[in-house]
């Protein structure tokens, strides 16, 4: 059965791949699984029909037969567990790749989201200029640690895994901030992720939604 995911009808990022359906699309492309997309307006996301799928009224969701999932990390893990290609075959390697998935979402993404929210929503506050460097320093700490661990390896733990897929997705949110450029190995790591054919297919598919909406 072809799974159906949800995505923004008109993404605020103008299809630059920053909304969280992108990581789900990328995972599906990595494992070669076709999928359908149901597009939602901001209003429709808050309707009871969608909240039955997603308690917080957000995207992405994932439906496949009787299964309905929300939370991009849980969806990527589900895809990775049911197909080959995103988790190592040995139990310890698998557990470590899953640890990197949690690290991306729990340890690296939160300070990045805090900065994004500050830049988008708090620019006019009198304390914004003082708060921003503090938020950026928190990100710098994490990036320094991650950069040290990655070293000159291609991926975080052996071959490309769902841990890398989520870590690259999270780091991509820093594009344009200059913070990633402070660590050439992390910039190269992100570029390696973006160069994967599956990433490109996923990116093009979500960009096409925005392009079509703008033309219509
Ligand atoms: N923890 C959840 C997950 O990982 O799935 C978070 C889901 C989430 O934040 N969804 C956002 C959403 O539905 C879209 S991704 N927001 C609408 C709402 O809450 O009403 C966050 C996002 C949105 C827009 C951009 N952008 O335009 O650049 C980037 C990221």
Q: What is the pLDDT of residue 215?
A: 85
State the pLDDT at residue 213.
Answer: 87
Residue whose CA is closest, atom 9 of ligand 1? Answer: 58
What pLDDT, on a 0 to 100 scale, did the predictor assign at position 120?
A: 93
State whether the beta carbon of 43 lies less than 6 angstroms from ligand 1.
no
Q: Please calculate the CA angle 88-91-93 and round it to the nearest 5 degrees.
A: 45
Q: For ligand 1, say whether the CB of 19 is within 6 Å of any of its atoms.
A: yes
Question: What's the CA-to-centroid distance between 59 and ligand 1, angstroms?
Answer: 6
DSSP letter at 39? E
Our mutation pick for probing the ligand 1 site, out of 42, 59, 120, counting the most ligand atoms within 8 A of Cβ, is 59
pLDDT for 214 equals 85
- Could you read off the pLDDT tens digit of each residue along the chain, which spans 216 residues? 999 999 999 999 999 999 999 999 999 999 999 999 999 999 999 999 999 999 999 999 999 999 999 999 999 999 999 999 999 999 999 999 999 999 999 999 999 999 999 999 999 999 999 999 999 999 999 999 999 999 999 999 999 999 999 999 999 999 999 999 999 999 999 999 999 999 999 999 999 999 998 887
- Is the separation of the CB atoms in 143 and 136 below 8 Å? no
CB within 8 Å of 181: residues ≥ 6 apart: 187
State the pLDDT at residue 30.
Answer: 98
Secondary structure of residue 188 in the 3-state scheme: helix
> Distance between alpha carbon 61 and the CA centroid of its chain, in Å?
13
Q: Is 18 in the pocket of ligand 1 (CB under 6 A)?
A: yes
> In this structure, are strands 4-8 and 61-64 parallel, antiparallel, or unpaired?
antiparallel
Q: Name beta bridge partners: 61.
A: 70
Q: What is the pLDDT of residue 59?
A: 98
Going by CA atoms, what residue is nearest to atom 20 of ligand 1? 58
Report whether residue 59 contacts ligand 1, using a CB cutoff of 6 Å: yes
């Amino acid at each position: 059965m072809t799974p159906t995911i949800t995505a923004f009808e008109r993404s605020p990022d103008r299809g630059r791949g920053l909304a969280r359906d992108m990581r789900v699309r990328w995972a599906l492309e990595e494992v070669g699984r076709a999928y359908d997309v149901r597009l939602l307006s901001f209003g429709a996301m808050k309707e009871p029909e969608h909240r039955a799928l997603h308690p917080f009224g957000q995207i992405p969701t994932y439906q496949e037969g009787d299964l309905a999932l929300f939370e991009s990390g849980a969806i990527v893990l589900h895809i990775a567990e049911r197909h080959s290609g995103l988790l190592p075959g040995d139990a310890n390697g698998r557990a470590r790749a899953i640890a990197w998935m949690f690290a991306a979402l729990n340890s690296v993404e939160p300070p990045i989201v805090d900065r994004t929210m500050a830049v988008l929503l708090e620019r006019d506050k009198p304390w914004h200029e003082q708060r921003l460097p503090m938020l950026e320093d928190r990100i710098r700490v994490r990036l320094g640690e991650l950069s040290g661990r990655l070293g000159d390896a291609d991926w975080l733990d052996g071959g490309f895994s769902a841990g890398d897929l989520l870590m690259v997705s999270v780091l991509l949110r820093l594009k344009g901030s200059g913070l990633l450029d402070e660590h050439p190995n992390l910039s190269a790591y992100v570029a390696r992720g973006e160069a994967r054919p599956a990433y490109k297919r996923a990116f093009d598919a979500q960009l096409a939604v925005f392009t079509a909406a703008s033309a219509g």
